[in-house]
Amino acid sequence: MTDEDGYFGEAVADRYDQSTGSEFQPDVIDRTVEFLSELADGGRALELAIGTGRIAVPLARRGVPVHGIDMSRAMVARLHAKPEGRDIGVSIGDFTTTTVDTEADGPFALAYLVFNTIMNVADQEGQVACFRNAARHLAPGGCFVIEVMVPELRKIPAGQNIVPFHTSPTGWAYTVYDTVTQDATCHYIDITEDGRGEAHSTPFRYVWPAELDLMAQLAGLRLRERWGGWAREPFTEDSTQHISVWEKPVE
C-alpha cells in the first residue's frame, strides 16, 4: 500500500465525511464505539487506518486515549481540522509496518481495523504483516479487532465474475473477482451535475474468516470472539460481515 497510489488522496478525503453510507449513520457509529470502548477497558487504543476520525473521535470522546496510523496525509489533515481531533496523535505510514513508540505510555490495550480495510492490503503477505504489527503493539491480554465483509462469492452467477453492489440514477458500482488469486477490484462510476461521467477503481484482496484466524495464529494471537455485527449479533452462514476479536495471550 502506498499513498502515492492516490486511493485516499485529496479527492477522496475532501468528500469522505459527507458519505451517506450506513457506516456513517450515528447508530452504527455508537454501536461500534460502545463495542470498542468496552474492550479497551480504560486502556489505550490504536486505530490502524484512522482516516478522518469517523471512529477515533467519538471513541476519544468517551475517554479512551486513541493513537492512529495512516499513510494518507490528506485524510489525517481532515481529522486534525476537527476540534475534537486535533489532539489525537497519528503516525504517518503504512499500518502493516509502521510502529508507534510505546516506551513512554506502555503498550495498547486495543488495536482495531474497521470498515473492510484489511482488504485494502492487496496481498496475503501484507495482511499477515498487519496482524503481526498489531500484535507487537498490544499488551498481554490486549485485543485486535477487525470488521470486514464476508466474501460475496455466492452472488456470482455461474460463468461470471462480476457483482454489482450499488445502482442509482447518478452512479453505479461493481466488483470484479478473481477466485483463483482472491484479488478483486471495485469500480465506481459517478455522473456529475453537468452530466459528465467520472470513474475510479480500487484493488483489494478478499479474505475468509478462517484465513484471518490463521493469520492471527501466525502473529501469536488467538480468537476470542466473532460476531455478525457490532451489536453482537450471532455470526452465521448468512452473515454478510463479521466483527472478530483476537487476543494476545497472557504469558
The pLDDT assigned to 5 comes to: 40
The pLDDT assigned to 7 comes to: 63
CB atoms under 10 Å from CB of 203, counted, come to: 15
The pLDDT assigned to 127 comes to: 98
The pLDDT assigned to 17 comes to: 67
The pLDDT assigned to 4 comes to: 42
Looking at domain 3-151+207-247, its CATH superfamily turns out to be Vaccinia Virus protein VP39 (3.40.50.150)
The pLDDT assigned to 1 comes to: 45
Sites in the chain below the pLDDT cut of 50: 1-5
The pLDDT assigned to 2 comes to: 42
Assessment of whether the complete model's pTM goes beyond 0.85: yes
Q: Which of 48, 23, 42 is nearest to 229 (CA)?
A: 23
Q: Is 210 helix (H, G, I), strand (E, B) or coil?
A: helix
pLDDT digits (tens, 9 = 90+) for 159-178: 999 999 889 999 999 999 99
Gap between the Cα atoms of 16 and 113, Å rounded: 17
For the chain, helix, strand, coil in percent to 5 are: 30, 30, 40
91 burial via Cβ count (<10 Å: 0-12, 13-18, 19+): middle
Query: What are the extents of the domains in the chain?
Result: 3-151+207-247, 153-202
